Structure 1
Amino acid sequence: MSTEQAAGGAILTLATKQSHAEEISDWIAENLVKTVVELKKPGGKEVLLEVYFDNTLEAEVAAKALEEFPIFGKSIREYAAEEWTESWKKHFKPMDIGRNLRVCPPWLAGESDRMELVINPGLSFGTGNHFTTRFCLEQLDRLVPESGAKTMADIGTGSGILAIAAVKLGVDHAVGADFDPLCVEQSILNAAANGVAGRTEFFQHDITEGWKDETYDIVCANIYSSLLIDNASTLLGITGKYLLLTGIREVELDGVADTFVQLGGSEIIRDCGGEWGGLVFEA
């Protein structure tokens, strides 16, 4: 996926019932790494989901992959770069998280006394809209100031938003790793846009290959449940104080939690958002 949108692209519009919108949006975010714009009328039971792609072929492939979902209408049309920009400006609103944080797009930065996490929603890989990202931000908002944490590692960093937030909340240095080089590239850009480039480091890495011999006060891992379970000993081994886990389907929470408890972790927080869940362990 390109991180540039200057030439325009294609919009895939999906019509579905409100009750199915979250399931479809979650799948798109997880598998296509795209942010969904949801259009609905107040009180209505049907919604339109818009997904922006670099070209028509990408949109057609995505539409084919979504055929098994309860979608009763879909269309694909090309758009100009100006339309893409204006659409995001219209639909992406600032989001306050916890006591201190606000996620906002560049065009709305500087309008709040909160600690702003400036993320371009159309170019990023995690904006705080999804439960998994929001859960970690809420926990960081509380744990960093309370614990005095000075170091942080983010496994599956995506947009880099968690590492950026940790530094703004008081961590001296944060590292972020992702197996996708495009995520690493975008994280570096986001850190620079937030003025924390000198206190963050992002690199390409696969957690299944282990980790260097270092520990961090706080570790976040927003990856698949199977990866959390298979790499539990590694994640606990690099955690100094708190380990935040998400990317977990609610039905998988017990299995993930049991694995980390058996290896010596102490579960202190569990939260769910209907389909997704998150866990916090104390080392």
Structure 2
Amino acid sequence: MNNLWQKLTITAEKKILEIISADIIQVSNGIIDTDSSHIHFIENKDLEFIKKKLNKYNYFHFKFQFEEQKRENWHLAWKENFTKININNKLNIIPDWDNSEYHQKTIKIKPGMAFGTGHHETTYLILEQLVEKILPNMSVLDLGCGSGILSIAAKKLGAGNVTAVELDTECKENFNENLFLNNFKNEVSTHYMDVLKWDDYNYDIILANINKSIIKKLIVLLSEKPVSKVFLTGLLIDDKSEVISLIEENNFNIECIKSKGEWLLIIIDKSFDYE
């Protein structure tokens, strides 16, 4: 593996940042989100793809620059930006170098190549609902698990069987590190494969923090499955009408819709009549 990658810094208004980042997140190995910029870490092989994506938005007012960086600098870069996150006064997310004592349940995360530290709105939206809706020993399926933060949160909040599915094997080391940091080694069943090829949906809660394209295919895929609650995010507010139409076409019930910044979370379920 090449020991270098591209650090891409995009500077713009918040809404523009969210739109562009949503379009390139599929090939981003992680994102640092500040008020005025998004920093992505990009493989050299994806550089031309990213440039084409950025050029597509030439009608927006934004700036970007690429900087070659050693991979091992990732964790150090996060130390400048990672602060504690508190979810509903019930759950804390802290970096692995924070050794403070907290009264609430606490998750330690080592920032790595995997997406998911709790700072991004989509992760926060799911965590905010998860702390309120999960019950002891519930089963949870985490699709597109990234760093494992949602799987770990589910375990911290009392879930029983937790299964995580992720296509990108680059996430594996970081996922395992985070499981170890939180004393959940070997307690989450992990599978590295296309989430759309996963075929067991017999879980109390399904989490899907992925991009809109995959979310749309997942809605259709789940339409004939006896699923319980499905948390869908990775969606922009601008996607709302399109995604809701697809949800309704596939006979799901919408339990709630939440938003944070430019991002959207939709929780759906399906009632089956077996008579």
TM-score normalised according to structure 2 size: 0.79
1:27 CA drift (Å): 4.2
| Cα distance, 1:99–1:234 mapped onto 2, change above 3 Å | farther
Give CA deviations for 1:65-103 in whole Å, capped at 9, x if unaligned.
Answer: 534444665545556788655442222111112331222
**What does the per-residue CA deviation read over 1:171-193, in whole Å, with 9 as the maximum and x for residues that have no partner?**
01200112222234432332222
Q: Is the 8 A contact 2:24 2:53 kept in 1?
A: no
Q: How does 1:123-272 map to 2 (within 5 A)?
A: 123-145=113-135, 148-212=136-200, 215-232=202-219, 234-235=221-222, 237=225, 239=227, 241-272=228-259
Alpha carbons of 1:282 and 1:9: their partners in 2 closer, same or farther (altered >3 Å)?
closer
Within 2, Cα distance between the matches of 1:86 and 1:202?
27
What is the CA deviation profile of residues 236-282 of structure 1, one whole-angstrom value per residue up to 9, with x for unaligned ones?
A: 5252x321111223233334334334444321111123432111123
Structure 1, residues 94-152: CA drift from partner, whole Å, max 9, x if none? 1112331222210124442222222222433111222221111111111113xx45211
**TM-aligned CA distance change 1:58 to 1:107, over 3 Å:** farther
Moved more, 84-93 or 22-31: 22-31
2:114 equivalent to 1:118: no
Could you say if the C-alpha distance between residues 122 and 210 of structure 1 is closer, same or farther in structure 2, counting changes exceeding 3 Å? closer
1:90 maps to 2:80: yes
Q: Report the 3-state secondary structure (helix = DSSP H, G, I; strand = E; otherwise coil) of the residue aligned with 2:79.
A: helix
- Aligned partner of 1:32 in structure 2 is 28
Equivalent residue number for residue 273 of structure 2:
none
Q: Judge conservation of contact 1:151–1:171 (CA < 8 Å) in 2.
A: yes
Q: Post-superposition shift, 1:225?
A: 3.2
Rounded Cα–Cα distance in structure 1 between residues aligned with 2:176 and 2:113: 13
Seq. identity, %: 27
Q: How many residue pairs get matched? A: 267
Query: Could you tell me how far apart the structure 1 residues matched to 2:213 and 2:43 are?
Result: 31
| Matches of 1:186 and 1:248, distance apart in 2 | 25
Change (3 A) 1:22 1:269: same
Counterpart position of 2:89: 99
Cα separation, partners in 2 of 1:49 and 1:230, compared to 1, 3 Å: closer
TM-score norm. by structure 1 comes to 0.77
Q: Which runs of 5+ in 1 are unaligned?
A: 41-46
Question: Is the Cα contact below 8 Å between 1:184 and 1:203 reproduced in 2?
Answer: no
Label 1:201 to 1:15 Cα distance change in 2 as closer, same or farther (>3 A): same
More relative contact order in 1 or in 2 (CA 8 Å, sep 6+)? 2
Cα RMSD for the two superposed structures: 3.3
Structure 2 counterpart of 1:277: 264
Task: Name the CA shift for 1:258/1:123 in 2 (closer, same or farther; >3 Å).
Answer: same
For structure 2, the 5+ residue unaligned runs are 271-275
User: Quick check: 1:109–1:118 contact (8 Å CA) kept in 2?
Assistant: no
The superposition leaves residues 47-76 of structure 1 with CA deviations (integer Å, 9 ceiling, x where unpaired) of: 455445677x87787566534444665545
Structure 1 residues 251 and 50 mapped into 2: Cα distance closer, same or farther (>3 Å)?
closer
Q: Distance in 2 between matches of 1:276 and 1:247?
A: 7
Mapped partners of 1:28, 1:36: distance in 2: 14
| Residues in 2 aligned to 1:274 and 1:91: alpha-carbon distance in whole angstroms | 19
